[in-house]
Amino acid sequence: MNPIRPRYGRLLGDFAVGEIYDHPWEVTIDGGAVALFQASFLDAHPMFSSTEYARLCGLRERPLHPLLCLNLGLSFSVHDVSEQAIAHLAYLDVRFPQAGYVGHTVRARSQVLEVKPSSAGDKGVVHVVTELVTERGECLCVFERKALIRAGRSSAPAGVSGTIKRPAAYANRPTELREGGSAPFTIGQVYLHQIGKTIGESEHMQLTALLRNSHPLHFDELYCKESSFQKTRVVYGGLVFAWSYSLASRDLAQRGVWELGFDAGAHPNPVLAGDTIYAASKVLAVSGSEVTFRLVGVKNLTSDQAFSKYGEALFEPELAKSEKIKEKVFEITRTLLVRS
């Protein structure tokens, strides 16, 4: 008998611009998953922990956390987009057009926007747009991302043709939200968030499974010894995003209403179990009730140490630099709607 050895994900030659992949995961979000996510990140943003606050802001109850929605959409897409990826490269124009709630059933689909082989021909960059929608077709999260994919072809089936709306075609907030007030922030102000987070060995794998990320890079040690660039399991980037975000929340989001979007995000360096993450933020712009920050996460040094060592360069995008900051593990531009 010949054994069957299924292969998951796609190699670079399997992608075609315009194809749409309907990802197989479909999950009804229960209160247990929401409680575990909230407890794992200690986010102080009141919108996602208090029904009374959410009603004050115009919603019927506390909504699903935006990073839970983003992580579900990102993880669902791994099956078709990045299970053969070398690395996740960028988050682009992340939006949360509508509020989701406990009991919603969510699924995701992605469309290929661009396929760009490297000059060496051994890999390339795939650019996709992904939507996370409810059973009623309501879009809870839409974003673009780029992944570095190995060259070659596999037996992956072709996608279907069609069109997925780009993030800019969506609103950046639910229509029922009440307007905020004046944002109490000053342009140029730097916040060095003082609490860090050491990532546990089994913790990151449990959360990766909760979010349905199927890439063995995050939980299969034998696979990683052969195929990981670190030769061991790497912490899933969406978790690094969520921890960096949450470490900033006590200082920035206690008057928060809604995450209006994230853009120009990346993971310049990997995170492993045992690493400790700290976060820092810089105010880039203030317009009425909207404030834009540059949020960064660093590993194995405090935010004070990072700022002392690198100064304002800590907030500059790594892709624009000739000399990279080796401790920086996350960076993104964040726009928040606040109450006065």
If you average pLDDT over every residue of the chain, what do you get?
A: 94
Are the C-beta atoms of residues 62 and 48 closer than 8 Å to each other? yes
pLDDT at 320 over 80: no
pLDDT at 325 over 90: yes
- Residue 111 located in a structural domain: yes
Task: Compute the distance between CA of residue 194 and CA of residue 248 in angstroms, rounded to an integer.
Answer: 9
- Residue 181 located in a structural domain: yes
The pLDDT of residue 191:
98
CATH number of the CATH domain containing 297 = 3.10.129.10
- Residue 213 located in a structural domain: yes
Any idea what the Cα angle at residue 297 is, between residues 291 and 299, rounded to 5°? 165
- Residue 4 located in a structural domain: no
Which residues are CB-contacts of 97 (< 8 A; sequence separation ≥ 6)?
139, 140, 142, 170, 171, 172, 173, 174
pLDDT at 53 over 80: yes
Segment 239-267 mean pLDDT: 95
Confidence of residue 6 (pLDDT cuts 50, 70, 90): confident
The pLDDT of residue 335:
98
pLDDT at 5 over 80: no
pLDDT at 187 over 80: yes
Closest of 308, 262, 259 to residue 93, by C-alpha: 262
- Residue 7 located in a structural domain: no
The structure tokens listed for 256 are 């928060």
Count of the separate structural domains present in the chain? 1
- Residue 5 located in a structural domain: no
Question: Across the chain, which distance is largest between two alpha carbons, in Å?
Answer: 70
Any idea what the Cα angle at residue 271 is, between residues 223 and 120, rounded to 5°? 65
The pLDDT of residue 113:
97
- Residue 2 located in a structural domain: no
How many Cβ atoms are within 10 Å of 271's Cβ, its own excluded? 25
pLDDT at 199 over 90: yes
The pLDDT of residue 216:
92
- Residue 3 located in a structural domain: no
Task: Compute the distance between CA of residue 275 and CA of residue 300 in angstroms, rounded to an integer.
Answer: 6
The pLDDT of residue 121:
86
Segment 14-32 mean pLDDT: 95
Task: Compute the distance between CA of residue 72 and CA of residue 132 in angstroms, rounded to an integer.
Answer: 8
Confidence of residue 63 (pLDDT cuts 50, 70, 90): very high
Angle between helices 237-252 and 31-41 (to 10 degrees): 70
Going by their DSSP bridges, the two strands 290-299 and 85-95 should be labelled as unpaired
The pLDDT of residue 251:
95
Structural domain boundaries enclosing 116: 12-338
The structure tokens listed for 12 are 């670079």
pLDDT at 98 over 80: yes
Task: Compute the distance between CA of residue 159 and CA of residue 180 in angstroms, rounded to an integer.
Answer: 42
User: How much is the pTM?
Assistant: 0.95
Q: What's the DSSP call for residue 167?
A: G
Q: Where are the beta strands (DSSP E) in 123-202?
A: 123-134, 139-150, 190-192, 197-198
- In tens, the pLDDT along 134-171 reads 999 999 999 999 999 999 998 888 889 889 999 999 99
- In tens, the pLDDT along 260-303 reads 999 999 999 999 999 999 999 999 999 999 999 999 999 999 99
